[in-house]
Structure 1
Amino acid sequence: MSILALEVGQHADARRVERMLATSTGVGAWDADDRHHEPGIAIGVRSRWVVPEDEGARAIAEDRDRGVVVAWEGRIDDRIGLIRALGASPRLTNAELACAAFAKWGADAPKHLIGEFVFTVFDRRERRALIVRDRLGIRPVYYVVRPDGLVRISSCERGLFACGDVDERPNLKVLASALAGSAVLLNETLREGVHVLEPGSILVVREGGTSTTTYFSVEPGGVDERLAPAEHVERIRAALDVAVASRTRGKWPIAAHASGGLDSSSVIAVAAKQLREANRPAPLLLHMTCASLPCDERRYARSVAARVDAPMVERDGSSAVYGPSTTDEVDLGGPWFEVLRELYGQAREAGARVVLTGDGSDEVQLRHWLEIDDSLLRGEWLDAARFAGLFDEPLDRDGWSRLARGFARNKLPQVTKLWRARRRPGDGLPSFLTPMARASALESLAALEQRRNDVPHPSPLRRAVAVELTSTVGMTLIMQELHSFASHCGVELLHPFLDIRVVEAFHALPTRMRTSFDLVKPTLRTAMEGLLPPEVLWRSIPTHYNDFHEAAWRRERDAWLPLARSSSLARLGLVDPERFRRAVEEAFEGELTADVRNALELEGWLARLDATSRAPHATARSWPDGKGLAP
């Protein structure tokens, strides 16, 4: 768990890097502080140790013979394999291994690293800096380019503005996308001028400017029809074993999210088994109860805790509140963040530094409703009928309709294209958007669709599966917010399902083993047989948290309504003030829709941003009027 901050350019200043790091700190002490400063670059890394090789290791390494400096933030999960490939000493730090990898493979070095990381390589001879982000972008990295050419880079976005010399303005294009429910942070953020380095990419900084290259992209291929179902199950079980083991290697206690669902429970079961075999304490389970609400899952979480003989901390979220300033540590939070604050505090007091999660499982194996199309593309009519639900209900009209639509999409593409063209542009967008916000949102949605279509694979399902891992709200905005919040609370979130080896094992599954019409994740369930209670393992009805969210929002109704009546979004030209005010008031009287919640969250962020801009030492700014948005 580390924070990386640096400046690259003629005016790089170590004092500004210190301010960036100070802005990014959270609860608890740091184990190490490393710095490097020379003409052209200033680097700082602040670290908390989570795995054995972190202890006592410097996060910055220098190869004087080659004129290279490497600053490392993250974890290498296949150190033994990398050390063998390099012929290196096992005593090398991660920064030193990355330095050796670049010496051997050059710009191809990241392809040989398995793990979660952000690191920079400064080459004195070439007068350039390379900033590398891990394959799936689990570790974030942000950067801004000042008018004088200085490039400022940080794994914490707020650190970029710590020095007061860069204006903090809202990004209208991203705000419009967020209002449409598609806040996917591909290479921009909510703040204008802030760039995100995309997963599997390298940022190259030279005196003449910046450029990016891609060293890894999720491939939709790899489906292995030769393996028997039992062999696929064993491959997934083995990959998950390796992923969990690589994240629990430290000497410190382990904590884990325990929702009561299949994903977090699977991680808990594997971790508990490994820790028990290593004579280490069972993981501390963290569970949010929702007493008196339909989404309460205490029964299942307690069943898992009893099965693996692990202690569990429970905090009730049924009375949670969520208002405009509930979670100042992140830009867009949620009702669960206050409960997570308490749970993470309990984990930290118990000595845990990492919290295992089940996040990523949905992205690699959930139903996409494109399974029918995929089956028809392969000529597997029985599989298509099974995914349409006709094996369960042969006379079901909806099932036949699903099959017919899939047939039209695959066999009559021109008809489908004409049908889509007749639909009113912007169907499904909030009614209170202004014309220019609507146009910008549609442009962003079209870009996301084009990204999916650009994936080189004939199957729409496989294209969707590939894009899901790097280009969704969950894997960009939400993941980054959760990581930032946990770091502020003094713990690090680790996601075994997002280990590239686990991802590849799930991507190799034939479509019929990925999901079924009435039961998602059948192969994971089979892999976890004997480790989880049957009531958790074979539960088919998902839990929805709508009641929890609505109750938390409604408790802060009097704080939200004034934001709608004096709307910053309207001032920016993104929403019609009267329609928006009416929509919010009606939502609090009736159904609090996702459209309204999205908009109000953005109003809350804009209000906090406005307050921050008027704080001492902050840069003064004026609100843009929206005229620069797409017409």
Structure 2
Amino acid sequence: MPIGGFSTPRPGLPHPVGAHALTRSSAWRLGAFPVRVAQYEDRRVLVIGLCGASDDEVRGLADHLVPADAAWRWPGAYAVVEEAPGGVVVHTDPASALPLYAVAWGGTWAWSTSARFLAALAGTRIDPERLACAVLAPSLPVLAEGRSFFAGVVRLPAGCRVVLPDDGGPRTHSVQWRPDAVGGAPHVRLRDALGSGVRLRAAIDPGLSSDLSGGLDSTTIAGIAAAVVDSPLHAVTVHPAGILDGADVSYARLAANASQGRIAHRLLPLTAEHRPYTRLREVPVTDEPAPSALTHARFLGQLRWMHRTLGTRTHLTGDGGDSVLFQPPAHLADLIRHGRHRRAAGEAVGWARLRRTPVAPLLRDAATMARTPRARSLERLAARLAAGPGARENAGNVRWFPTLPMPSWATPDALGLLGRAAERAAAGPDELPGLDASVRVLVDDIREVARTAVADAELAAGCGIDLHNPFLDARVMDAVLRTPLGGRAPLHAYKPTLVRAFADVLPAEVRARTTKGSFEADHFTGMRAALPELLDQAGLHLASLDLIDLSLFRAGLRRAAAGVPMPLATIEQALAVDAWLHAISLAPTPRWASPVPGKAI
């Protein structure tokens, strides 16, 4: 449930039906969204979201100037909002795990954790350009920077101090968080940041549960939590029904057995009712398309089972660990740019062996990226997208902006919207100039994963469960990304920083693991099983907006279900976005408590 407010304290401001107004504040909240308020004279400070600051530390934010690092000083996923004469100042989460939105309305600014609620206030519609970016360029978050899925509702920049004037004047911002390299051991910083984030959740709900897939990430989270709760931690492993000796189950069982009774291992068999693509018309409404939309039958099935069987109210996952801990291929470009050619060659060989790909093209692409500024690469991307689907594309593995082939079912209107988004992105400034390429790439990737994960948390809330991803806390991101080039993990290594940080938590067999299970086969099985329903219903909303050619899209679905080799990413994105549009069309529009004369500007 969201929280929000206005940049002015004037009386008579509306609020969503059912919301509770905060005392002496323009802010409101629905449900039990966590918020703490401190006041000093005519100045109020709200800490919204889960934050590990003590009550004295929260009071200190009102008594003194809010420090530049306030949004990542403590564990958790949170933001800090200052209410003072002249407007509101928002200190946003650097990781975007708690994204904030704003819309100009009624001569002031309205802000909230929910773009959908702000769109209802301002009477705005869904943004077709944002949809085109989500469907056709899901790997390019730069194209949608600052945009929500609703026209006129902006997403406030992450890691910034944002000023929203009380008279609705232009908003301004300054960057506060920047992951410049610092000294010290990265595994020590990671242990502190991730450990404190998990312990914060366990302190709030000692009866919480955790995923336990048998991989490094969820095993780490479960191990930390199990060490601090009083009762054995319920840790859940999902598996295909009838298969109890798969790799994931085996490693999860090893971790549970090594916990000396601290983990109560629970197995959840997956059956045909949990297949991907099942009942996409039943995906609940969220603020934006959820990462679990296509697998909602499995995702919600697990959550409902945990709530019913285990009494789970709070659940931890290892989601986000891959984004935070893996080195992107851009790391090779950094090594070349800094003159570390021998290390670059060695890591390229290691990565090529892992991927079974030639070494020479990797090094050639890395050298090209090393001498190409991010801004120039973005300009080339915009020119290529503007030229249409026939434009020549660099298909190398080491690039600033990896793109997917444009599908035949993308309409000229959709391609035009995508091109305009790219041109706007190319014309804008880089808020974090001068960073190493791998760090800059990771910032975008982590923020995209963290922001979209909020939609999964909305789905979980509908099941009565508070879902948390501690790897996506800003302190965790900060701990990892500040590692100097010489201390960064090799490109081909499998999460060595995490293994070193939690060697006492991870069993030896899990520490040695270099792969994890995949549900890819389930996706093909699910698509084949759901094909009649998909051919009858999928894509209708996108087609009505003239973003896809429905007949060509359905032909693509038939080929994909038949196992024809082809990229599935854009098809899956289209299905997820269309399911979201269907949910939006059915869900009641959020209602506000008073007439709304203002309009979005």
TM-score, normalised to structure 1, is 0.76
Who is 2:342 aligned against? Answer: 382
Cα distance in 2 for residues equivalent to 1:433 and 1:260: 39
Q: Which 5+ residue runs of structure 1 have no aligned equivalent? A: 22-32, 50-57, 80-89, 618-631
Aligned length, in residue pairs: 557
Who is 2:233 aligned against? Answer: 283
Post-superposition shift, 1:481? 0.9
**Correspondence list, 1:109-508, <5 A:** 110=70, 113-114=73-74, 115-123=76-84, 126-146=85-105, 148-149=106-107, 151-160=109-118, 166-167=122-123, 169-182=125-138, 184=141, 186-201=145-160, 202-219=162-179, 221-222=180-181, 224=183, 231-250=185-204, 252-275=206-229, 280-291=230-241, 297-308=248-259, 309=261, 310-319=263-272, 320-321=274-275, 322-330=278-286, 331-333=288-290, 334-348=293-307, 350=310, 352-389=312-349, 398-410=358-370, 424=392, 428-445=405-422, 455-457=432-434, 459-470=436-447, 472=448, 474-477=449-452, 479-508=453-482
Does the 8 Å CA contact 2:283/2:580 hold for their aligned counterparts?
A: no
Cα distance in 2 for residues equivalent to 1:112 and 1:262: 25
Would the alpha carbon gap of residues 404 and 154 (structure 1) be closer, same or farther in structure 2, given more than 3 Å must change? closer
1:122 partner letter:
E
Would the alpha carbon gap of residues 577 and 359 (structure 1) be closer, same or farther in structure 2, given more than 3 Å must change? closer
Cα distance in 2 for residues equivalent to 1:424 and 1:393: 28
Who is 2:400 aligned against? Answer: none
Who is 1:87 aligned against? Answer: none
Deviates more, 1:344-353 or 1:538-547: 344-353
Post-superposition shift, 1:10? 8.1
Deviates more, 1:479-488 or 1:165-174: 165-174
Post-superposition shift, 1:150? 5.1
Does the 8 Å CA contact 1:335/1:552 hold for their aligned counterparts?
A: no
Post-superposition shift, 1:104? 0.9
Post-superposition shift, 1:388? 1.0
Q: Which secondary structure state, in structure 2, belongs to the residue aligned with residue 289 of structure 1? A: strand
Would the alpha carbon gap of residues 104 and 409 (structure 1) be closer, same or farther in structure 2, given more than 3 Å must change? closer
2:129 partner letter:
K
Provide, for residues 509-530 of structure 1, a one-character-per-residue CA deviation record: whole Å limited to 9, x for no partner. Answer: 4546544354321222233334
Q: Which secondary structure state, in structure 2, belongs to the residue aligned with residue 174 of structure 1? A: helix
Cα distance in 2 for residues equivalent to 1:208 and 1:412: 40
Q: Which secondary structure state, in structure 2, belongs to the residue aligned with residue 604 of structure 1? A: helix
Does the 8 Å CA contact 1:20/1:160 hold for their aligned counterparts?
A: no
Q: 2:579 aligns with which of 569, 590, 604?
A: 604
Q: 1:43 aligns with which of 19, 22, 28?
A: 28
Q: Which secondary structure state, in structure 2, belongs to the residue aligned with residue 242 of structure 1? A: helix
Does the 8 Å CA contact 1:34/1:45 hold for their aligned counterparts?
A: no
Cα distance in 1 for residues equivalent to 2:249 and 2:370: 44
Q: Which 5+ residue runs of structure 2 have no aligned equivalent? A: 385-390, 394-402, 593-601
Who is 2:546 aligned against? Answer: 573
Cα distance in 1 for residues equivalent to 2:319 and 2:506: 18
Q: Which secondary structure state, in structure 1, belongs to the residue aligned with residue 574 of structure 2? A: helix
Does the 8 Å CA contact 2:45/2:61 hold for their aligned counterparts?
A: no
Does the 8 Å CA contact 1:323/1:553 hold for their aligned counterparts?
A: no
Does the 8 Å CA contact 2:125/2:151 hold for their aligned counterparts?
A: yes
Cα distance in 1 for residues equivalent to 2:590 and 2:18: 17
Cα distance in 1 for residues equivalent to 2:491 and 2:590: 54
Who is 1:30 aligned against? Answer: none
Cα distance in 1 for residues equivalent to 2:176 and 2:591: 43
Does the 8 Å CA contact 2:350/2:492 hold for their aligned counterparts?
A: no
1:358 partner letter:
G
Q: Which secondary structure state, in structure 2, belongs to the residue aligned with residue 190 of structure 1? A: coil
Matched, 1:595 2:570: yes
Who is 2:599 aligned against? Answer: none
Who is 2:388 aligned against? Answer: none
Does the 8 Å CA contact 2:71/2:79 hold for their aligned counterparts?
A: no
Who is 1:584 aligned against? Answer: 557
User: Bigger radius of gyration, 1 or 2?
Assistant: 1
Provide, for residues 80-101 of structure 1, a one-character-per-residue CA deviation record: whole Å limited to 9, x for no partner. Answer: xxxxxxxxxx5x5xxxx54541
Cα distance in 2 for residues equivalent to 1:215 and 1:235: 23
Q: Which secondary structure state, in structure 2, belongs to the residue aligned with residue 6 of structure 1? A: strand
Would the alpha carbon gap of residues 98 and 215 (structure 1) be closer, same or farther in structure 2, given more than 3 Å must change? farther
Who is 1:620 aligned against? Answer: none
Would the alpha carbon gap of residues 287 and 447 (structure 1) be closer, same or farther in structure 2, given more than 3 Å must change? farther
1:47 partner letter:
A
2:92 partner letter:
R
Cα distance in 1 for residues equivalent to 2:457 and 2:313: 13
Would the alpha carbon gap of residues 314 and 17 (structure 1) be closer, same or farther in structure 2, given more than 3 Å must change? farther
Cα distance in 2 for residues equivalent to 1:48 and 1:610: 26
Deviates more, 1:191-200 or 1:172-181: 191-200
Q: Which secondary structure state, in structure 2, belongs to the residue aligned with residue 311 of structure 1? A: strand
Structural RMSD (CA): 3.9
Deviates more, 1:149-158 or 1:516-525: 149-158
Post-superposition shift, 1:62? 4.2
Would the alpha carbon gap of residues 554 and 37 (structure 1) be closer, same or farther in structure 2, given more than 3 Å must change? farther
Q: Which secondary structure state, in structure 1, belongs to the residue aligned with residue 89 of structure 2? A: strand
The percent of aligned pairs where both chains have the same amino acid is 20
Cα distance in 2 for residues equivalent to 1:452 and 1:209: 22
Cα distance in 2 for residues equivalent to 1:137 and 1:392: 33
Post-superposition shift, 1:262? 0.7
Would the alpha carbon gap of residues 452 and 357 (structure 1) be closer, same or farther in structure 2, given more than 3 Å must change? farther
Cα distance in 2 for residues equivalent to 1:373 and 1:355: 38
